[in-house]
Structure formats: structure tokens, C-alpha cells
Chains A and B, each alone.
Chain A
């Protein structure tokens, strides 16, 4: 069995930034394991621009953004294996992986960073009734076909779900010659970024029908038509509201699910809200020395935040490898309330954090002119006004170490949305 100080599972934006950060914090023995044929993960098929505004102060395409981090990995001579699948991670941090050249092999790691990303929710998981013909693609599969292989999956398109990949693909399919007829979204708000709705739908005259869903798929061999209907507050279709679209393709962009099958095998505890690991301020899971970052932890809106978060995971993994950890440090739970769906991290150790700790979360509905309020026990610490908050965009709160130090007997932190 080989030994590495740090094994990073996944060579996408999270894995790359984590590796760079761990190396810069003094870890020599690092291995990135990537299942695809190149580093960069899903960014490689995201050929549109809009990446990196926060990190690099310029607009990059997905592959450009990925290559900036890949370059940092190359410059540091960090080891990586491509075309290699991690088959299992054990609770004592033995990673079993496989590829064509090495066969199946085991690595004992001192620390592991989970950076496997996420997958798209499938038609089956959505329980959409109808036939099961060809022509139903997750938006990401269509994106790969068009952007990486150069093939068009269809000519007349209906999109269900307004996640960012669906919005991006509405524009891409239109630019490549297809007719995108409508984007239907079950919820009364979009799951994607506002800028994508403007740039990918509005600019191309593609209608977005909120509170609509697909209720039937016709065509036994290839999709021939899709019927959508308006849904009521109970999300059930309203009879009489049906609209039938003749089309040959249905793209699905109905949410992303962190890919945590390996985490589960390692004994990592998952959040039922995010489907990602429950972590503390160092992004460490309940399994000692196993950290998580990026979309495997919780689905992000911007890759810049993935990179920031991954750097934190890399730094903390380095610290764990070099110093071990103080298991006696007191952890305080953050309670999401009043529209805050979850927080990452869920636990904060006031004595262990650096000067500032970023807590990220999403809200469960659209809020206008509301406040994000933070309480230490019952004391209001901070109240910040936000003109608009929506489930499609992440929010954050910064916790100050110095302020936390004023509450040595702190029992809980609460973050909630409050009206004026």
C-alpha cells in the first residue's frame, strides 16, 4: 500500500484549489485523483464566460478558469492521476482506486479532502409521467454532447427547470441552431442566477414559465411532444392549464445532488438538506481528517466561492496533518432559522478559527428588503439588509473571532432572515 499525507478525491475546481492551498501550507505529499481524462472537472464543458469575476477580476470561460488553477498545480509539481476512479474510502482513510495502468490499488492517507462535485437530478428521480423515449437529457449531458463532442441532441427543445446549466443550455442550443420553445420551472422563482435569466433567456426571447411543470412526455422512440401545466401552491398541476409543445428534446435542469456515495462508505455523516457532509469551521466531517469542499459539500452558485472554500479545506487539512487536532475544543452549533435552509459549516469552534469565518447558506424562498440577522445565544450580533435574496444565489455571514471570544459560554449561534 502506498502512503500519502493528503489524498484529494476529484480534480475539479474544488480539488485543484484545495491541493494548491495544502501545498502552500507546507504539505509535500499530495495526490489528486481525477476520474476524467483531464483536470478541471465540469468546468471543461462550461465554455461560456462569466467565471472568475471575484477571483481574477475578469471574465473567463470555464476551461480558462480551470486552467488557471491547473497551472498552479503544475507549477507546484503536485502529483495527480487521471482516468482514475476512486472505488472506496474507508473510515480509517484507506482510499481504493482503479485505472487501466495501475489496476486496483490502495492508498493510506493521513487526511482526505472530498471534492467529488455533484450530479444532476434525473428524470426518474423527478417522477415525471409519460413515455421513456430518446431525447430526454439532463442539461449537463446535452452540454457535454454539444460543447465537447460537437453533436446536437435535438432541434426543438423544451427545458424543465431553471437551474443555471439549463439556462446556459437554452442559449447554447439556440446559438447552435435549435429552437428552444420554453423553460418551465416548478417553483415560483428561478433556481438559477438572475444574470443567466437575462443573458440566456430574455436576450433570446425564450419564455420562462414559473410554477409550471411537465405532466406528460409523448413519443415511444424519440420525444414527440411535451405537455406542461401550471401548478398551484401545493405544486400539483392545475387542470385546464395544460400547454402541449411539439418537440424532439426535453432538457432537465432540476437541481444538483452532491455525489456522496464514497463519503457514505467512509462513514461521513450527511445533511438531509444539502445532501453533503456536515462539517465544522475547518470543513472537517465527523470522520477525523476527512474534509470536504465544493459542490460535494453543498451546491454552489459561483465557482469563485468553490475555490475560496477549497482553499480553506486545503489549509485546514495541512494543519491537521502537521499538528493533529485538539478534540477538546468546544464546538457551537449554528441554527438556521426563518428562511435560512442550512449553513456551511454547521459547527464552529470559537477557539480554533482564524480572525474571520465565512458561513455560507441558501434561503428557501425569495425575500425582498429583508435582513440577515445573526445571534449569539439571544444577543443580536449583526443585522444586514439585503434588497433581494433568492434560493438560486448563495448568501453569507462573516463571524469574527474577537466577537466570539466575548461569549465564552456561548451555546448556540442563530442565523435567520428577518423582515424590517
Chain B
């Protein structure tokens, strides 16, 4: 019997798990995919918003500003790549600059520090590649960029090492009320060769006193299983293009356009790893699995990004992707216990600024659950976690010492990002370690460079085969049926 079962190992579920681990609690996280950070958390703008955009008084406003303020300490405690590069909302000569004033006022009401409006002559000194039509902009120095994978993994690993259990490849099929709380029926999702053969998973049950619903675009499905306070999550697709690191210095701030009803418009931003990111589009879709990019979407990005930034070197695109925002009709986060389902806590409708708010959502939900269950603080909680060592940050002497102790750090596997075997071994053997190529990629960046894993895939597969160990047929891109090889030569 668990005190709490969290559905979803995205950034929100993982942040809640980590905050709950500060209490004496028997907790688990249930995730349908083979890894943490496989849904909305992995495909977004990777931005820590300053918090001027949300309507004052909403949860979005409060939790964004609070989450943003937590990031300095969190990034140190949990070794999360994070940088306050500042953001600019730009206004062009065809737009009404009073839009910036309104944002400034909202920001002040939300408690965002140091906002100011700058005119073109000042702006162009900071960002020479702003479009010619940009006349003024709102500067938010507290805006930042983060690695969403590492942020999620950091929360999850730290929760795990503090005793929270993770059930990966485990899909929630149904939830029933029980005298003690809830019975969750789950199925084990087959992976690799099993999945290709169509083997279906076995059902089993998880008994828990309380549930936290952090299921992203599926949060409505689980809420509606137990509560008559129905919610409706619409998947709002956002498409992105990621550019080579050679384009990473095209801008230094996160450049937003004046927001519209559908979102914050297309942004152009450096990523914390030094690439350039352009996106997102915003289109509501019926299919909650529709993470496909579209010709129209990608074409529109090319056209729209030039409104704020000139000469974006789109020939340097190395990949494009789409993510789904969990949009709720009332346009605010739903973070509360369902009134007609005691002990069922929703963290639903977590769209932008969800990543920025996740640290604060974690605290808020953990406090609600702790109060419900009268949890005591966990005196053994260890709040720090070391990320995967990046040898590029070492001096040559330090690096040579490391290679002497662990020669794998002298062996480059990913040529584009210069990722060593040592880092991949770390990714596999650390808590909640990687079991797929995408798992290795998100942890180490092997395969995330300009050749997009063309060279390193076979080598990373060999390492997984040897180290996990696992059969080549079970090695997947990202779980399920995403196996890389289907048989031996002449065998198929």
C-alpha cells in the first residue's frame, strides 16, 4: 500500500515526487513510457519564463514567478544546466507599443523584478540581429533557459535515491475508489522485440491512499475516471526547429513576439547547450499522440521568426520536433484535490509556463498531500544530486587524470557533440539510468548534434547491449515498438 501514487514522470510529476521525498512517505511514480521526460516535458521551449505573461492572481502567475525564483538554488542543488540569459518581448513598427506597457504592468503585479522597456538604439547594442522593424522591447532579466531533460531527470533521480519508486513502461488502465483510497490497474508495456511481436503486457494493481494526477495531456482522462468535476484537456501542438551550434550565438536573449490569444508567439532563443531554437506554432489537435511535425507548421516558423529576428540561418536546422501543450479551457493550472474524490490531487492543465512553474507546483502539491496524510518530515532526505560529468568543463590535467582512472572518458562516441563513452556509461548506470538511445541522448547529448546520431547510433547500441546488458533486438529508440534492428541478415 502506497501513501501516494503519482501518475506521470514528466517534469511536474517528478518535481512533486522529489518534494514528497522530503516527507516520510511511501510513494511511487507510474509512467507509461520507458523513461522519465517522454511527453510534454521533452518537447517545449526550454524556457524559465520571468512571469509577466500570466494574468495576475492566477496559479500560472504565482507559480511561475515562484518557480523562477527557485531555479538558482535548485540548479545548484540538483546540477541542472540553467542560465539567466534574460528575455525580450519585441514590438515592431506595425504593432501597438502599449502592449508592452500592459505586459510590464502585469509583470509588476505578478512580482517580476527588474522589468523595463528599452528602445531600439539600446536594444540593437544588446541584440544586433533583431529585425529592422523592431522598435522597442520589454526586457526581463530574470528570464532563463534550462535543459528540460536534465531538470526532469534531476528531480526524478533525486526522488528515486530518496526512496520514491518508479514504475516505467507502466500504463494506468483504470482507477477505482477503494476503502483505503484507490486501486489503480496498470499494464506493463512490452518493449523491443516483445513489442514488435505484439506481446501484450500483464495487468496488475497498485493500491494507494492518495493519487497525484500529473499526466499531462491525459490528466483529464484520469480525473474523469474518479470525479464528476470533469475537466477537458486539449492537446495544443507546438512545432519547433533546432539549429546547429554554429547558429547558437545568433541571439543571446530569448526573443519573444508580442503575445496573441493562442500563446506567446514564435520565439527565437539560444538553448542552454548552445543551439538556437525557433518555435513554437500553436494548433489544437484531436489526437493526444500527434507529435508529428507538418509542412505547414515548419513553413510558418520560417516566415514568422523573421518578424523579430533577422537572418535566422535556417539552413543550419539540424532537427525539427513537435510537443503538445496540455491546454485546459479555463486557461489556468488546475492544482487541487477533486471535491468529490478525496485524496485525488490534480496537477492538470499544466501548459506554459509549466516548466517554469514545476518547482513551485512540486512544493504546492507535496504540501497538500502531506497535510492530507499528516506526513512527518523525512530527516534522511538528501537534497543534492550530481549530474553527468561533462569532461569539456575540465582542464586538460583534470581530464587526463579522469581518463587514467576511467579510460572510457578518453573514447569519443558522439563526434558531433564530443561525448565520451564514460558519459554514456554514467547515463546507463546512474539511478533511473538510460535503457534506450533517446534515453542516452537526453542524458548525454550523444546523438543530438548535427549528424543526428548517424555515426554514434550503432556504437551506442553496442554499449547498451554490453552494459545493461540487453539483446540488440530489445534496444529501442524510445521504448515500445521502436526497436532499431529487426533480425540478422537474411533472417527476416
Partner of A177, one of B321, B457, B491: B491
A133 contacts B454, C-beta separation under 8 Å: no
List of A residues within 8 angstroms of B434 by Cβ: none
Q: Type the 1/0 row for A143-158, where 1 means its CB is closer than 8 Å to any CB of B.
A: 0111011111111000
- Report the separation of the CA atoms of residues A134 and B484 in the bound assembly, to the nearest whole angstrom: 6
Say yes or no: is B209 at the interface (Cβ < 8 Å to chain A).
Answer: no
Partner of A101, one of B291, B407, B452: B407
B485 contacts A100, C-beta separation under 8 Å: no
Say yes or no: is B293 at the interface (Cβ < 8 Å to chain A).
Answer: yes
A124 contacts B242, C-beta separation under 8 Å: yes
Known contacts A101-B410, A140-B454; A125 and B318 CB within 8 A of each other: yes
List of B residues within 8 angstroms of A127 by Cβ: 241, 298, 317, 320
Say yes or no: is B289 at the interface (Cβ < 8 Å to chain A).
Answer: yes
B454 contacts A220, C-beta separation under 8 Å: no
Which of B102-110, B161-169, B396-404 sits within the interface?
B396-404
Known contacts A131-B292, A151-B485; A122 and B477 CB within 8 A of each other: no
Partner of A100, one of B295, B411, B415: B411
Say yes or no: is A132 at the interface (Cβ < 8 Å to chain B).
Answer: yes
Say yes or no: is A416 at the interface (Cβ < 8 Å to chain B).
Answer: no
List of B residues within 8 angstroms of A144 by Cβ: 458
- Chain A residues numbered 213-261 whose CB sits less than 8 Å from any CB in chain B: 215-217, 220-222, 237, 248, 261
A120 contacts B294, C-beta separation under 8 Å: no
What total of chain A residues lie within 8 Å of the partner, measured CB to CB?
53
B492 contacts A178, C-beta separation under 8 Å: yes
Say yes or no: is B92 at the interface (Cβ < 8 Å to chain A).
Answer: no
Say yes or no: is A103 at the interface (Cβ < 8 Å to chain B).
Answer: yes
Say yes or no: is A104 at the interface (Cβ < 8 Å to chain B).
Answer: yes
Known contacts A122-B451, A145-B458, A177-B492; A220 and B403 CB within 8 A of each other: no
B452 contacts A124, C-beta separation under 8 Å: yes
A154 contacts B400, C-beta separation under 8 Å: no
Partner of B452, one of A122, A177, A222: A122
- Report the separation of the CA atoms of residues A146 and B458 in the bound assembly, to the nearest whole angstrom: 11
A129 contacts B488, C-beta separation under 8 Å: no
Known contacts A152-B491, A155-B492; A122 and B412 CB within 8 A of each other: no
Interface of A is mostly: mixed
A221 contacts B317, C-beta separation under 8 Å: no
- Chain B residues numbered 270-300 whose CB sits less than 8 Å from any CB in chain A: 289, 291-295, 297-298
B320 contacts A124, C-beta separation under 8 Å: yes
- CB closest chain-B residue, reference A151: B485
Say yes or no: is A123 at the interface (Cβ < 8 Å to chain B).
Answer: yes
List of A residues within 8 angstroms of B412 by Cβ: 35, 85, 87, 98
- Report the separation of the CA atoms of residues A221 and B479 in the bound assembly, to the nearest whole angstrom: 8
A141 contacts B454, C-beta separation under 8 Å: yes
List of B residues within 8 angstroms of A264 by Cβ: 246
- CB closest chain-A residue, reference B413: A85
List of B residues within 8 angstroms of A129 by Cβ: 292-295, 297-298, 320
- Report the separation of the CA atoms of residues A155 and B483 in the bound assembly, to the nearest whole angstrom: 13
Say yes or no: is B486 at the interface (Cβ < 8 Å to chain A).
Answer: yes
Partner of B476, one of A134, A148, A152: A134
Say yes or no: is B478 at the interface (Cβ < 8 Å to chain A).
Answer: yes
Partner of A221, one of B408, B478, B491: B478
Say yes or no: is B379 at the interface (Cβ < 8 Å to chain A).
Answer: no
Say yes or no: is A400 at the interface (Cβ < 8 Å to chain B).
Answer: no
List of A residues within 8 angstroms of B489 by Cβ: 146, 150-152, 176-177
A122 contacts B410, C-beta separation under 8 Å: no
Say yes or no: is B66 at the interface (Cβ < 8 Å to chain A).
Answer: no
Q: Type the 1/0 row for B316-329, where 1 means its CB is closer than 8 Å to any CB of A.
A: 01111100000000
List of A residues within 8 angstroms of B291 by Cβ: 131-132, 220
A222 contacts B400, C-beta separation under 8 Å: no
A122 contacts B318, C-beta separation under 8 Å: yes
List of B residues within 8 angstroms of A215 by Cβ: 295
Say yes or no: is A99 at the interface (Cβ < 8 Å to chain B).
Answer: yes
Say yes or no: is A68 at the interface (Cβ < 8 Å to chain B).
Answer: no
- Report the separation of the CA atoms of residues A264 and B246 in the bound assembly, to the nearest whole angstrom: 10
- CB closest chain-B residue, reference A133: B482
Say yes or no: is B455 at the interface (Cβ < 8 Å to chain A).
Answer: yes
Say yes or no: is A83 at the interface (Cβ < 8 Å to chain B).
Answer: yes
- Chain B residues numbered 312-359 whose CB sits less than 8 Å from any CB in chain A: 317-321
B399 contacts A152, C-beta separation under 8 Å: no
B295 CB to closest chain A CB (Å) equals 5
- Report the separation of the CA atoms of residues A264 and B491 in the bound assembly, to the nearest whole angstrom: 45
- Report the separation of the CA atoms of residues A125 and B243 in the bound assembly, to the nearest whole angstrom: 9
B458 contacts A103, C-beta separation under 8 Å: no
Most chain-B CB neighbours within 10 Å: which of A120, A134, A220? A134
Known contacts A120-B454, A134-B476, A220-B291; A152 and B481 CB within 8 A of each other: no
B400 contacts A104, C-beta separation under 8 Å: yes
- Chain A residues numbered 84-113 whose CB sits less than 8 Å from any CB in chain B: 85, 87, 98-104
Say yes or no: is B480 at the interface (Cβ < 8 Å to chain A).
Answer: yes
List of B residues within 8 angstroms of A261 by Cβ: 416
List of B residues within 8 angstroms of A151 by Cβ: 472, 485, 487-489
B317 contacts A150, C-beta separation under 8 Å: no
List of A residues within 8 angstroms of B432 by Cβ: none
B85 CB to closest chain A CB (Å) equals 24
A403 CB to closest chain B CB (Å) equals 39
Say yes or no: is B490 at the interface (Cβ < 8 Å to chain A).
Answer: yes
B391 CB to closest chain A CB (Å) equals 9
List of A residues within 8 angstroms of B454 by Cβ: 119-120, 122, 138, 140-141
- Report the separation of the CA atoms of residues A272 and B457 in the bound assembly, to the nearest whole angstrom: 29
- Report the separation of the CA atoms of residues A221 and B477 in the bound assembly, to the nearest whole angstrom: 8
B247 CB to closest chain A CB (Å) equals 12
Partner of A99, one of B289, B404, B410, B472: B410
B317 contacts A124, C-beta separation under 8 Å: yes
List of A residues within 8 angstroms of B319 by Cβ: 122-125
- Report the separation of the CA atoms of residues A129 and B239 in the bound assembly, to the nearest whole angstrom: 10
List of A residues within 8 angstroms of B411 by Cβ: 83, 99-100
Q: Can you list 9 A-B contacts with CB-CB less than 8 angstroms, sorted by A residue number?
A: A35-B415, A100-B410, A104-B403, A122-B450, A124-B319, A132-B291, A155-B492, A177-B489, A221-B480
Q: A119-B454, A145-B458, A217-B292 are in contact. List 20 more A-B contacts (CB 8 A).
A: A100-B407, A100-B410, A101-B410, A122-B318, A122-B454, A123-B319, A124-B320, A125-B450, A129-B295, A129-B320, A132-B321, A134-B484, A141-B457, A144-B458, A154-B486, A176-B492, A221-B478, A221-B482, A222-B481, A264-B246
Contact surface of B with A, Cβ cutoff 8 Å: 195-196, 241-242, 246, 289, 291-295, 297-298, 317-321, 396, 399-400, 403-404, 407-408, 410-412, 415-416, 418, 450-455, 457-458, 472, 476-492
Top-8 shortest CB links A-B: A124-B319, A122-B452, A134-B482, A134-B477, A103-B400, A100-B407, A151-B485, A85-B412
